[in-house]
Structure 1
């Protein structure tokens, strides 16, 4: 596993709601406003006799009338295994959104990571992206977390700080060299195709982070680490959503090498937010996506110090790039 991941890095420091495991039903006030970039991490275990449980992000905790539920996340085990998501407004449920890709198993532990984005919630379970749920109620109204049903909860953590907005260029470790060759108001201009010079060339211990949102009908995108002088591509990362292949390769001396495709789990999905972390080791690159180690790629281009450029293009909205 790659321990460099953004989510894991923060989840170690997430505020726990109590030192003892929470009792169910669990209802507690959320201490700060949930803004884009906020993370909620819930760790627990599904009992053998569980038929269902739910995680509700509520506006208040009233029982009569019942408080509005902005996001109802409801794994069900009886009959067909599925996750039902919905919103309760003025004591009336909206239309159900059902996911049959069921990551929960009875008598197994789980980790749910819920990220609040500008227009939706994004949910991963045990490191795998599971679903997106568009906001039907402004998430700023959410002030209560409720967990109900047959489930054991070990810990609940929050990260309220948001870093989805681009930081000042000086903290990013890159300098723009795209077509316009300008930086507006001291920030990188993140239109595609994007190309930027690393302020320090690649080598063991160096890290590059690319944050973005996959387009709705995306086919593919690419993230390349390039030796600027020769234009050799030392690392070509090419997720192809239309065939669920995460292709890796190198373009050396005007020729592509042999593609590498082996992967345990394809980490990208249409519409999802992602944080891709590329770490340069002595023998290989290590890549993590949204907190989960995804792959290693042994160096084919040996002169690591010549790798000085990051290029990004394809069917995504680029949100942030960093290097250190």
Structure 2
């Protein structure tokens, strides 16, 4: 998840911390928390609250609670009318006493998606309307360095040039008649060139098997870049289709960055010798050009087991 544009940052707040989330939260917005777990910590918590009342206690839409006693875990829950719901526990805990951390909370229309230290951690479906959230609370044995809030932009944000199947030559910034139905194909205005960058945003379906992103040349069957995440094999396959045949697959990758039911952002940048590919703000791979005349790469196609939210180029 890209966190390069912060609307507001809170520096070195004292804990316990209770602060207003100005303007509330919207889909596509992120809250980024950097901190350090105390060496003697038994737990800490980050609460997305519906107000700051103590008596009666304000509702908590998301209670995010790493615990370090016994079997370490992260507990998530919701407090309504001063009563807790059922706990959801994650035992693959990425936090340790005395260690630094980065947590990113991404707000989606029907859930929170949470990553920690650059990797997906969990998602938590909304039990109350996230539009009610107006306060962030942080408590427990933890030191917070920064709390960052990204600008409030919809998942169908209007910046850059949006590529739409229904309006292939729409002007930059237009969001009218956006159609991201799959399979999806759109023109890349003026084709690729060095330095040109594309972002594809979507959400992987629950029982997904695979999806694909293809950069192609109109009027031929050639595929300059084929990106194909495969969930069952946990493989991020890259290839090129030339002269009516596939080349040799590339699969090497340190960590597989895709998971069912999570939101993702794939960024593709065209460099002189290769494409650079990042997923959720983390560089993943480079793919050398096999289709040499990149100016002829003027189509992008997306297909497979995802919900497609946006495709943009600049």
**Structure 1 and Structure 2 fold alike (TM over 0.5):** yes
Q: Secondary structure at the match of 1:318?
A: strand
Distance 1:76 1:211, change over 3 A: same
Alignment of 1:1-324 (within 5 A): 7-10=2-5, 13-18=6-11, 21-165=12-156, 167=158, 171-172=160-161, 174=163, 176=165, 186-324=176-314
Tell me the CA shift for residue 8 of structure 1: 3.1
Q: TM-score, normalised by structure 2?
A: 0.93
Q: Secondary structure at the match of 1:140?
A: helix
Counterparts of 2:179 and 2:81, CA distance in 1: 43
Distance 1:195 1:51, change over 3 A: same
Tell me the CA shift for residue 224 of structure 1: 0.7
Q: Is the Cα–Cα contact under 8 Å of residues 219 and 242 in structure 1 kept in the other structure?
A: yes
Distance 1:63 1:220, change over 3 A: same
Structure 1 segments unaligned to the other structure (5+ residues)? 1-5
Tell me the CA shift for residue 182 of structure 1: 10
Counterparts of 2:223 and 2:178, CA distance in 1: 22
Tell me the CA shift for residue 310 of structure 1: 0.2
Give runs of ≥4 in structure 1 deviating > 6 Å.
181-185
Q: Secondary structure at the match of 2:4?
A: helix
Instruction: List per-residue Cα deviations over 1:279-299 (Å, max 9, x = no partner).
Output: 111111111111111211111
Counterparts of 2:129 and 2:247, CA distance in 1: 49
Alignment-derived partner of residue 3 in structure 1 = none
Structure 2 segments unaligned to the other structure (5+ residues)? none
Distance 1:216 1:28, change over 3 A: same
Counterparts of 1:23 and 1:185, CA distance in 2: 42
Distance 1:185 1:58, change over 3 A: closer
